[in-house]
Amino acid sequence: MKLKHLAMLLFTVTVGLTARTAHAGGTVTVKGSDTMVILGQRWAEEFMKAHPDTTIQVTGGGSGTGISALINGTTEICQASRPMKPAEREQIKAKYASDVIEIPVAMDGLSVYLHASNKISELTMAQLKGIFTGKITDWQEVGGAPGKITVYSRENSSGTYVFFKEHVLEGADYTPRAQSLPGTAAVVNAVARDKSGIGYGGEAYAKGIKIPKVKKDAASPGIAPSLATVQSGTYPLARNLFFYTRTKPAGDIKTFVDWVLGPAGQAMAQKVGYFPVH
Amino acid sequence: MSARLLRARMGDWTLGTAAALATLLLLVALLLILGDVGVHGAPRLSWAFLSQAPREGMMEGGILPAIVGTAMLVVLMTAASVPVGVATAIYLHEYAAPDSRWARLVRLGVQNLAGVPSIVFGLFGLGFFVQFLGTGMDTLFHDGKLVWGQPGLLWGALTLATLTLPTTIVATEEALRAIPPAQREAAYALGSSRFEVVTRLLLPQAMPGILTGAILAVSRGAGEVAPILFTGAAYFLPKLPHDLHSQFMHLGYHVYVMSTQSADVDASAPILYATVAVLLGLTFALNLAAVLLRARMRRA
Amino acid sequence: MPDTASESATIEARPPSGLGFAFSPRRQLPATPHVRSLPTRTPPRWHRPVEWVVRGMAAAAILAIILIFAFLVRSALPLWTSSEARKEVTQTQMWFAQTWPGYDAAEHVWQPVSDTPKYGIWPLLTGTLKVSLMAMLLAGPLGVLAAIYVACYARPKVREVVKPAIELLAGIPSVVLGFFALIVLATWMQTLLGVESRLNGIVAGVALALAVVPVVFTLSEEALRAVPQGYVEASQALGAAKWQTIWHVMLPTAAPGIATAMALGLGRAVGETMIVLMASGNAAILSWNPADSVRTLSATIAAELGEVVSGSPHYAVLFYLGLVLFAFTFAINAVAAHWIERQKDRVAGRA
């Protein structure tokens, strides 16, 4: 009977595929920030070209996802676009009796996204706070053409969401009218198609949209994200991107981390659109 | 023309036109989706696309790991769901008294299971399979080392198997119902036991029905994303899954992440469309096979 | 869940065997080898345990339902039992408006990641209902009308093409519908309606309608075809026009079946995740304006569960949302089951 043969074939293939447990080299799991997932993946790709025995598997989901995975023990390296909170550090300490290791691996200039046709070229931090908390709802109020502002934000699992909330909104809540999109690319995509849109995200993703300069306050000069302004910290929304590990990196993890911090890894970071740490 | 006849004509025209228009609208919607995906997806489709891993941050390369991951997932799912589904259907149709309390309860269970939202299956998979069974297995067999207590292929497959259980049960029952009782009676009259009736008389005849159910289940398993979000799907894996507890890439999940989280939506659009085309082609082929199989069964 | 839901009801909606055709032999006796090889000796002993295994496996569906419920409750339990979780969120805070620090008035707010996490559930509930009702407003009439066309108007040749084609709609994975809504439909709608946000309740509702239509269509069509031919002939013999027969005889007879179709369609709309996650904009706004962005229960779980630390209050709240969804679909099923019984009675002429 044909069916039986087909079933047996399928079964054999599955067992064959699934039973090959033994494979050379170790596997390093990297999980976390969506901002960093592309970067992490390119790092993994390049690293594995040089170290074919080691497997680096990269998953996104958000910095929160990565941190909770680190706490739950489901990942070895957590990629995060925000520093870990004290409460989270404590959870690691309580569970694994060791301090979490924080490794800055790249820098990012968190950018504000506007539609390409938007006339505004500078925004102060206070204006940004007003827009994203919903106090400012019309472009006229910040010097643009009259029209309602559509606010695009990220899902609350994102480190960028938290970083922006802490540094721009100063802890206040986003306006409930802010649309939460599941990834930075979705924000870019939405703003690129929406004349009234404003969003935020890594500079690396910005394509087909306008990035305004950011001013610390009304008196200070507007600053655009660039290698110099981000590394020196004069750009108000410069931030570090991190790797976190539960214990001091060793073995495959150490090899990978060292490679990332080395010239090849840092060059790749710049190629993808971030800035090197040093 | 009498007023009454006119009224009848008018009424017939109105209802007939409205009904035809509604049908047309639905067909147009179907064709629009197919057309859009076909036109934008076809140019990128090639053997290389199907046989390569994604590269350059998903902007290049193909979708091989997603295809393989999906295939392994649905094979495991079928292996788990079909035997249980078939056994349930046989029990309901051949063993239980039609109106027994237990049989009614089982039927009620099946109906309700069919109505549970897919995201709730995701929660269940995470809470039960990953965190309860998985962590339990690790404590028992691996000294607490993390092996099973994390999202993986097996847990994703079992979650989907629970989700597709009603499909296989209903399809098998339908097939059993189509077998004339006279055949059973004849077999019993010849002195065969119920078990023999089931295995030698009913199951072979119900095979196309069971297959239909399995195909429909596979089609759902290939397309459902919500249940595997937390039970095993991964954004990017450089290697194919090599173990029952490794994470996997999945066509449907790939479509989700590519359309919301890729680095550059416009640049990756061709790849995205091609992935959707593959997923749609796969599920449509499966559904079509099920429809044809069922039609053949009914004619026979 | 198109296939399973529709099919389980399909079978239930069939006329009972008393009508006489259900048991008519549909095929020849199979080639005799099956029968001839049946032995007359007493069956071997091992048949018995195997049969018990079959009986045991039949409990799987019930077991699954119980386990789903039990594990949803288990993970949501800290909301009732853990004092630490209750410090962060209480039932009162979830269901009633609160005056949060930094807010001027009592409000329902969903902001789970915050210094004071806010878990107001109403924006999500209204969001879910809003898109689901919109989907039903579109899919209900469309599905039923298409069912009328296929069951009453279409020539057999046309029916043989149209019916499977509409059922193929059910074969489109919801992530593909979500993708289509996100990339294509949203742009069309924005040009067409000129609404403020590109992704909004209307876009999600329309895409959701496409997912629900096959359910409504299939079940309604079954219900219409199950109307006994005698009713139709009697109506025609009394001189009723075709539309009068359909409107005054077939539809009322099939009403419970169609109501079931609507209920199961609604159940599917409420539970659908990927479409709303991708196409609704996911802003937790408490409003009845369909052009606003919408955040549903299901999309909230999908978007946030990945982030939370297991065992945290946020985690428990998301399982609680799962419980709410589960209870809702359970209720819908109970209603649908009731209507199916009515439908059976009706086509059998018992009511």
Q: What percent of chain A has pLDDT over 90?
A: 16
Mean pLDDT of A208-234: 85
Contact C207, C178 (CB under 8 A): yes
List Cα–Cα distances, A69 to A103, C259, C299, in angstroms: 17, 45, 21
Beta bridge partners of A241: A106
What's the pLDDT score for residue B300?
60
| Mean pLDDT of all residues belonging to chain B | 86
Residue A3 to residue B243, Cβ atoms within 8 A: no
Are A142 and A186 in a shared domain?
Answer: yes
C chain contacts of residue B283, beta-carbon cutoff 8 Å: 171-173
What's the pLDDT score for residue B270?
87
Residue found under tokens 């397309």: B223
Of residues B265 and C161, more confidence is placed in C161
Question: Looking at the domain assignment, is residue A79 inside a domain?
Answer: yes
Q: Domain total for chain A? A: 2
Mean pLDDT of A266-271: 87
pLDDT tens track for A31-88: 887 778 778 888 988 898 888 888 888 877 677 778 888 888 878 899 988 888 888 8
For residue B78, is pLDDT > 90? Answer: yes
Long-range contacts of A261-264 (CB under 8 A, 24+ apart): A261/A103, A261/A105, A264/A46, A264/A50
Mean pLDDT of B32-49: 88
Question: Looking at the domain assignment, is residue A39 inside a domain?
Answer: yes
What's the pLDDT score for residue B58?
67
Question: What three-state secondary structure class fits A117?
Answer: coil
Tell me which of A4, A6, A31, A37 to substitute to probe the interface with B (most B C-beta atoms closer than 10 Å).
A37
Question: What three-state secondary structure class fits C110?
Answer: strand
pLDDT band (50, 70, 90) for residue B95: confident
Question: Looking at the domain assignment, is residue C154 inside a domain?
Answer: yes
Beta bridge partners of A80: A242
Question: What three-state secondary structure class fits A174?
Answer: coil
Rounded CA gap, B71 and B77, in Å? Answer: 10
| Predicted model pTM | 0.84
| Mean pLDDT of all residues belonging to chain A | 83
Assigned architecture for domain B45-299: Orthogonal Bundle (1.10)
CA dihedral (B40, B45, B50, B54) positive or negative: negative
What's the pLDDT score for residue B121?
95
Rounded CA gap, C313 and C316, in Å? Answer: 5
What's the pLDDT score for residue C125?
92
Q: Around B104, how many Cα atoms within 13 Å sit in the side-chain half-sphere?
A: 4
For residue A8, is pLDDT > 90? Answer: no
Q: Which residues in chain C come in under a pLDDT of 50? A: 1-38
List Cα–Cα distances, B141 to B134, B154, C237, in angstroms: 10, 17, 75
Contact B160, B228 (CB under 8 A): yes
Residue A21 to residue B243, Cβ atoms within 8 A: yes
Are A66 and A23 in a shared domain?
Answer: yes
Residue found under tokens 């706004």: C285
Rounded CA gap, B30 and B147, in Å? Answer: 44
Are A200 and A249 in a shared domain?
Answer: no
Which residues are CB-contacts of B71 (< 8 A; sequence separation ≥ 6)?
none
Residue C205, min C-alpha distance to chain A (Å): 17
Mean pLDDT of B266-293: 87
Beta bridge partners of C297: none
Residue C40 to residue B114, Cβ atoms within 8 A: no
pLDDT tens track for C171-182: 899 999 999 998
Mean pLDDT of A120-144: 89
Which residues are CB-contacts of C142 (< 8 A; sequence separation ≥ 6)?
B22, B25, B26, C209, C213, C216
Question: Looking at the domain assignment, is residue A234 inside a domain?
Answer: no
Residue A212, min C-alpha distance to chain B (Å): 20
Please report, as a single letter, which amino acid is at residue C161. Answer: V
Assign residue A150 the CATH number of its domain.
3.40.190.10
A chain contacts of residue C123, beta-carbon cutoff 8 Å: 176
For residue A28, is pLDDT > 70? Answer: yes
Task: Give the chain A residue nearest C294 (alpha carbons).
Answer: A179
Assign residue C299 the CATH number of its domain.
1.10.3720.10
Task: Give the chain B residue nearest A75 (alpha carbons).
Answer: B150
Count other Cβ atoms within 10 Å, centred on residue C248.
Answer: 13
Question: Looking at the domain assignment, is residue A123 inside a domain?
Answer: yes
CB proximity under 8 Å: B 43-82 to C: none
Rounded CA gap, B69 and C49, in Å? Answer: 36
Are A181 and A267 in a shared domain?
Answer: no
Residue C306 to residue A61, Cβ atoms within 8 A: yes
Question: What three-state secondary structure class fits A70?
Answer: helix
CB proximity under 8 Å: A 79-138 to B: none
The verdict on B267 touching A (C-beta cutoff 8 Å) is yes
CA dihedral angle for residue B143, residue B145, residue B147, residue B151, rounded to 10 degrees: 120
Residue B242 to residue A74, Cβ atoms within 8 A: no
For the ranges A18-22, B231-235, C117-121, the one whose mean pLDDT is highest: C117-121
Mean pLDDT of A168-181: 87
What's the pLDDT score for residue A7?
58
For residue A19, is pLDDT > 50? Answer: no
How far out from the chain centre does Cα A124 lie? 23
Interface predicted TM-score (ipTM)? 0.89
Rounded CA gap, C324 and C125, in Å? Answer: 10
What's the pLDDT score for residue C13?
36
Neighbours of chain B (3+ CB pairs under 8 A): A, C
C chain contacts of residue A173, beta-carbon cutoff 8 Å: 102, 109, 111, 114, 118
Residue A70, min C-alpha distance to chain C (Å): 10
Mean pLDDT of A217-232: 84
CA dihedral angle for residue B230, residue B225, residue C187, residue C134, rounded to 10 degrees: -100
Contact B236, B54 (CB under 8 A): yes
β pairing state of A101-114 and A197-202: antiparallel
What's the pLDDT score for residue C269?
92
- Residue B122 sits at the vertex; the CA angle it makes with B120 and B125, to the nearest 5 degrees, is 110
What's the pLDDT score for residue C67?
94
Residue C244 to residue B11, Cβ atoms within 8 A: yes
β pairing state of A77-80 and A238-245: antiparallel
Angle between helices C251-271 and C201-225 (to 10 degrees): 140
Are A180 and A264 in a shared domain?
Answer: no
The number of residues making up chain B comes to 300
Domain that holds residue A58: 2-108+240-272
What's the pLDDT score for residue B168?
92
The verdict on A61 touching C (C-beta cutoff 8 Å) is yes
- Residue C252's region, left for phi above 0, alpha for psi from -120 to 50, else beta, is alpha
Q: What percent of chain B has pLDDT over 70?
A: 94
pLDDT band (50, 70, 90) for residue A11: low
Contact B242, A17 (CB under 8 A): yes
B chain contacts of residue C40, beta-carbon cutoff 8 Å: 190-192
Question: Looking at the domain assignment, is residue C43 inside a domain?
Answer: no
Rounded CA gap, C201 and B112, in Å? Answer: 28
Residue A56 to residue B207, Cβ atoms within 8 A: no
Residue A222, min C-alpha distance to chain C (Å): 29
Q: Domain total for chain C? A: 1
The verdict on A234 touching B (C-beta cutoff 8 Å) is no
Question: Looking at the domain assignment, is residue C210 inside a domain?
Answer: yes
Beta bridge partners of A138: A148
Rounded CA gap, B69 and B248, in Å? Answer: 5
Count other Cβ atoms within 10 Å, centred on residue A15.
Answer: 11
Question: Looking at the domain assignment, is residue C19 inside a domain?
Answer: no
Tokens of C266: 């609604």
Residue B77, min C-alpha distance to chain C (Å): 15
Tell me which of C182, C197, C276, C315 to substitute to probe the interface with A (most A C-beta atoms closer than 10 Å).
C197
Q: Round the CA-based radius of gyration of chain A to a whole number and report it.
A: 22
Q: Around B3, how many Cα atoms within 13 Å sit in the side-chain half-sphere?
A: 0
Please report, as a single letter, which amino acid is at residue A124. Answer: T
Contact B255, B275 (CB under 8 A): yes
Task: Give the chain B residue nearest A203 (alpha carbons).
Answer: B263
Burial of residue B257, with CB atoms counted within 10 A of its CB: 0-12 exposed, 13-18 middle, 19 or more buried: buried
Mean pLDDT of B18-44: 91
Mean pLDDT of B267-281: 89
Are A57 and A85 in a shared domain?
Answer: yes
What's the pLDDT score for residue B134?
87
Question: Considering CB atoms only, which of B18, B27, B201 is closest to C162?
Answer: B27
CA dihedral angle for residue A216, residue A222, residue A226, residue A231, rounded to 10 degrees: -30
Rounded CA gap, C217 and B211, in Å? Answer: 24
Mean pLDDT of B117-131: 92
